[in-house]
Amino acid sequence: MSRHLLTPFIAVLRAAVVCVVLAALGMPDYAGAEDPGGGQQARLAAVLARGQDRQISTERGTIRIISFAANKARHGAIFFIHGDPEWHRIGAFSQSLRDEEAKVLANHLEWLRGVAAAGKFATYFVARTGVFGSEGESLEFRREDSYLSIGHAIDTVIAKDGVGSAAIIGHSGGAAVALYHVIALANPTVRCYALASGVYNIGAMAEFMRIQKEKKADVAAIDRTQLAAMAFTPLPPAMVMKFKYFEPLFRIGEIPPAPERQILIVSNRRDVTAPYFASADLVDRLRSLGHRAALVEAAAKPPTYHYTYDTALDVAGACLTGALKR
């Protein structure tokens, strides 16, 4: 790696955190909808009452999974893993932050409840470690044991609910969790993975954002040559030791073969958080390893171009029904 690319990562990541507080919450496009009465907790309680709220025990603590229309699970189920919980890094966990967490969770759940009500599938919201009611430390959300705990919880629910076939959607940092599931667990019931706006290498993401800020350039205008080379460059060992980051990206060679499984990488070319070039490169590498992988270009709204849920949902559903031919 060049000296330029070894710009101190701690400073880079601090800058990245500030830049992505709003962009990487992992919320739907309509997540900014306000409740004039300030009753985010009441709003959350109302949508929770319409689903099934469970704490799934794992060796590393409990993971909260909230489902809608679980009676449809035998026909198919869609699991959603949200993005990195960036707001937990900012100051004390005050009441305003609790309200923010309630608002984001309510928005996710209302979206998934609507999907279940309108479609053929059960839907499941998977709360990552330390947030939204799952046990653990939120600052450890990119550790391998966190990924494994979430994966085991999903597999437990698949078995308990008699899920016939499943798709896992992971957004932003949640896409890395979904990628780990296919590497380490590879449950044959999960036939479809839709990884949306994925942050697969936090070091590459931070460098990508630094260059945007430095050049004050539109994402599409940035020279990708150096960044493309960095997409698969591991974090420096000191960073790994300090933050215990684990990137499943570097273990895709361990994914077991499964001809019926599809891995769909959903991305927008102008995404300011999750670089499109990294998604395209991941697809090429998966294909070279013999897996059925496809790059799906998605529409997304400015200014972040980061929220690609609708496309991920569409391709996951089409994959489950057999309507997707790729």
CATH code, domain carrying 276: 3.40.50.1820
Is 22 inside any structural domain?
yes
Residues of the domain holding 109: 4-26+54-249+261-321
Give the pLDDT mean for 275-292. 93
Residue 236: is the preceding peptide bond cis (ω within 30°)? no
Q: How far is CA 159 from CA 152, 169, 205, in A?
A: 11, 18, 36
In a domain, 45, yes or no: no
- Kindly calculate the radius of gyration of the chain based on its CA atoms and give it in whole angstroms: 19
pLDDT of residue 6: 34
DSSP result, 289-323:
TT-EEEEEE----TTT----HHHHHHHHHHHHHT-
Least confident among 25-29, 165-169, 278-282, 308-312? 25-29
In the predicted model, is pLDDT for residue 20 greater than 50? Answer: no
Residue 109 lies inside a defined structural domain of this protein: yes
Q: What is the pLDDT of residue 272?
A: 87
pLDDT at 237 over 80: no
Give the dihedral of Cα atoms 238, 244, 250, 253; nearest 10 deg: 130
**Residue at 35 is within a domain:** no
The mean of the pLDDT values for the chain is 81
Whole-number pLDDT of residue 92? 45
Give the count of beta carbons closer than 10 Å to the beta carbon of residue 288: 10
Whether 179 and 252 have beta carbons less than 8 Å apart is answered as yes
Interval 253-271: pLDDT, tens:
999 999 999 999 999 999 9
pLDDT score of 18 = 29
Contact in structure between 167 and 161 (CB atoms under 8 Å):
no
Q: Is residue 172 part of a domain?
A: yes
pTM, two decimals, is: 0.83
- pLDDT per residue over 43-92, tens digit each? 999 999 999 999 999 988 999 999 999 999 988 999 999 998 765 554 44
Instruction: Please check the confidence at residue 10 and state whether its pLDDT lies above 70.
Output: no
Give a yes or no: residue 40 inside a domain.
no
Residue 295: inside a domain: yes
pLDDT in tens, 132-173: 999 987 667 788 899 999 999 999 999 999 999 999 999 999
pLDDT value of position 296: 97
Could you give the number of structural domains in the chain? 1
How many CA atoms, within 13 angstroms, populate the side-chain half-sphere of residue 55? 13
Percent of residues, the chain, with pLDDT higher than 70: 75
